[in-house]
A and B are shown apart, each in its own frame.
Chain A
Amino acid sequence: MIADIVRSRAFGQNALLLLVLLLVPAVAGRFYVYILAVIFVTGLLAMSLNLLVGHGGAYQFHHAAFYGVGAYTAALILVKTSLPAWVAFCAGPIAAAVTGLIVGAICVRLNKLYYGMLQISLGSLIWIVVLRWYSLTNGDDGIHGIPMPEFLSSATGIYYFVLGVVAVCLALMYLILKSPFGATLRAIRDNPQRCEAVGINVRRHQLLGVVVATFFAGVAGVLFVVLEGSVFPDMLFWVLSLEILIMCLLGGWFTFYGPMLGAAIMVALRTFVGSYTDYWTLVLGIVLILLIFFLPEGLMSINLRERIRQRGRRASMKAAE
């Protein structure tokens, strides 16, 4: 099986991409290395959401709550205890997945939009607890200056750590999507009623999907702590959940890398347009409107190879005339 993967063309392309990304710190300035790391972390979060939204067809409306739980868990362990850093890094995703299990177990009883609304309520509940529990979380001030292990003290060290973890997570997600579990998840997206009729316990399957997705959201949360050295309640606010939904839409629901591309566009817009005007969301709005009209399945739905082939065919037809 591993031999198969290594031989495939997709593997070659990804290996090449990884190699290029490994070389970035050697040529690019600190700022761009940092922005790239922000894109990876946000992209991982969006891709974990897309496991449920694009592939699972679930109305996962408050995914950021689990991102925040992962980040806060890691941050609190690093600040309040003397446990080694790797414990904090592992505890983040596990705490997010456990929260996902609890919230998911309540939500999967409901369908579609009701699932989404209930999740927004429960997620907001977590947000308000984090915001108000001053003695533990420092409330809306957040937690800053979180101590990091030695190898994460330089910008390059952080970049490589983030890149490595994100690459491993993406590989795992890819395997999961190619597995029978992933196939069944897409079948549930297409037709939950039919799935019931072939003996699939739809709710249990969706719950497992939520646990997997929230685990990866927790990983993204931990990486945010590594990158920024701080956490704040806005990480759990519903606005961020909406933003990552937009990233999935922007890049392409039904593709693997789509949400990562969407994250890159959002981060770039915020950073570069945002440096000229506070109203950068205006540009985002226009981009979104155009996209919904012309590319409803996202940017990744532009099939370049197909376009080139069509152009070639047209040219050869003209030549024949």
Chain B
Amino acid sequence: MLRVENLRKSFDDFKAVDGANLAVDRGELVAVIGPNGAGKTTLFNLITGHLKPDQGRITFNGVEISRLPAHAICRKGIARSFQIANIFPRLTVFRNVQVSVLSQRHLSHTLFRPAHRMVVEETERILESVGLIDKKRSVAGALSHGDKRTLEIAIALGNEPELLILDEPTAGMSPEETAATMGLVTRLAREQGLTILFCEHDMDVVFNVATRIMVMQQGRTIIQAEPEEVRRNVTVQEAYLGGPEDA
């Protein structure tokens, strides 16, 4: 479904992504792991068009998307959440998701019809499925951190994506919130047939949830394989999973 081949991106002299390779197939839950500064977020920004790659190819369902702007890539069926809660703080929870659904249905430019009656069912179904329906009238900026992160996922679902990219969905969450969020993510993947690509620092979460894991270090892909094989890999152990430097 998604193929990333030999992707490179540098900022001035710093090579943020320097030869990343990634393959995501339909129905998978792929995790990207790596130490801080390994280029995970940059890789996601390149895939979703928020940054333009210097070199390499990204294809989605066989179509090259490396040079498309972010909104066009979203139209192809890739939605994402961000590392910091990236919502519409002054709008209500309902409106946050509705804006995304309206965009998906090509209704954003409608000028003379009141919005409060439009795509209500779809929006409420999404809020229901992530458990935010009770808070639909709250102003999004006033939500708790965990709810904001969940709302972010709900906004992404408004685009009816095939591939959902989550950049550290549990960053800054308590252990309970982390468990709840990952439960939500796996349930969504199962129930709605979503393919999910995410990055995460919590190794327990990653090895529990992911069907495949890609390891990055200094912008490079070290390995992409099943969790068991990644665990056995010597380079990965040295680089990341409590190798000599970390001990």
Contact = CB atoms under 8 A, between A and B. Distances in A.
Contact-size category for B: 35 or more
Contacts of B50: 193, 196-197
B102 A194 contact: no
Contact of A191 (B86, B115, B116): B86
Contact of B91 (A1, A190, A202): A190
Contacts of B91: 183, 186-187, 190
A61 B138 CA distance: 33
Interface string B75-103: 10001101000111111000110111011
Interface in B156-175: 156, 158-159
A175 interface: yes
Interface string B98-120: 11101110011111111111100
B115 A198 contact: no
Given A1-B114, A198-B79, A205-B108, A193 B86 contact: yes
Interface centre among B89, B95, B115, B158 (most CB of A within 10 A): B115
B95 A183 contact: yes
B74 interface: yes
B217 interface: no
B155 interface: yes
B116 A197 contact: no
Given A184-B103, A200-B71, A194 B108 contact: no
Interface residues of A, number: 31
B103 A200 contact: yes
Given A190-B91, A198-B103, A198-B158, A180 B71 contact: no
Interface of B: 48-50, 69-71, 74-75, 79-80, 82, 86-91, 95-96, 98-100, 102-104, 107-118, 155-156, 158-159
18 contacts: A172-B112, A179-B111, A180-B102, A180-B115, A181-B109, A183-B91, A183-B95, A183-B99, A186-B88, A186-B90, A195-B99, A196-B69, A196-B70, A196-B71, A197-B50, A198-B104, A198-B156, A205-B108
